[in-house]
Structure 1
Amino acid sequence: MALNLIKLCVGCDSVEDLEEWIAFRLDERKRAGEPVEQWHTTRMVPTRAAELTDGGSLYWVIKGSVQCRQRLVDIRPFVDGEGISRCHLVLDPVVMRTEWQPRRPFQGWRYLKPNEAPADLGQGRTGWAEMPPKLRQELAELGLL
């Protein structure tokens, strides 16, 4: 069974913001003649990379709730220009919405076991996927989701 990561999506107010940012960065790379792939740079390199890239995902916490995930494609450690070890978490650019799961703030990323990960929308509660995102956010803020 694949292992997952969970991380705060700093700077995004919604899943739509994240999707727009991904599309923008992919377009930038295409215009620059670079490989068209999406990655997230992090300082710490996961030691369990083989488990993560065997079907695992990066779950994004947006505004205090896990709201979506992206499949982990590869993990590429590197040393930046200042000699600091870093890591590219290479992600499938397709963002999969999940059931919302409240999370307290934390730094960096954490491992997320499959049995602790929220289900993709449409695989759990009926009607959840059709609910407008703004309404879902308001209900989550009230602690009703």
Structure 2
Amino acid sequence: MTIHMVKLCVGAEDIEDLENWQARLMKQGREPFHHTRMMPKQKDQLMDGGSIYWVIKGAIRVRQRIVDVRQIAGEEHSMCELVFDPNLVRTYAKRKKAFQGWRYLKPADAPRDLTSGEAAVNIPPDLDAALKQAGVW
């Protein structure tokens, strides 16, 4: 059964910051990746169509499909390298409080993807939440 991951996109002000960071990696001949200290125990479920959902400025805003989970040697201990599909898929904003590391995210709890027309509108998370609460969005 598929499971997802949610992680803070530390230092990113918006989705474009994430795009730029990953574009720099790809110019160096690397696929988009992120290193984390802990190896996910549910690696097989992540590899079964799972995505990483990035939290930017207090809300899940975008996701990327996870294409590989590798164990790599670090200076003092081994690390986990998460490798992503370069395609960023914008999602409906979903508020998320700050946390350390990463968390698993059940598919039922993941925000749905925006359609191409919806993705063209970049609404701030607070306004998006208010519109949803009012039943307008």
Q: Is 2:93 the partner of 1:100?
A: yes
Rounded Cα–Cα distance in structure 1 between residues aligned with 2:101 and 2:118: 29
Q: 5 Å matches for 1:42-53?
A: 42-53=36-47
Matched residue, 1:57: 51
Write the distance in 2 (CA, Å) between the matches of 1:45 and 1:52.
11
SS of 1:107 mapped into structure 2: coil
Q: Equivalents in 1 of 2:125, 2:109: separation in Å?
A: 21
What 5-or-longer segments of structure 2 have no aligned partner? 133-137
Q: Which residue of 2 aligns with 1:68?
A: 62
2:64 and 2:73 map into 1 onto residues whose CA distance is: 24
Q: State the match for 1:2 in structure 2.
A: 2
Aligned to 2:127: 139
Structure 1 residue ranges without an equivalent (≥5): 31-35
Q: Specify whether residues 17 and 4 from structure 1 end up closer, same or farther in structure 2 by C-alpha distance, changes over 3 A only.
A: same
User: What is the deviation of 1:85?
Assistant: 2.2
| Counterpart residue number, 1:33 | none
- SS of the residue corresponding to residue 121 of structure 1 reads coil
* Aligned pair partner of 2:115 in 122, 129, 132: 122
Contact 2:95-2:125 within 8 A present in 1 as well: no
CA contact (8 A) 2:4 2:105 kept: yes
Alignment pair present for 1:91 and 2:79: no
Distance 2:41 2:56 in 1: 25
In structure 2, what residue type is equivalent to 1:54?
D
What percent of counterpart residues are identical?
45
Residue 24 of structure 1 and its aligned partner are, at CA, apart by 1.0
Helix, strand or coil: the match of 1:71?
strand
SS at match of 2:6: strand
Q: Please report the RMSD computed on the Cα atoms of aligned residues, expressed in angstroms.
A: 1.7
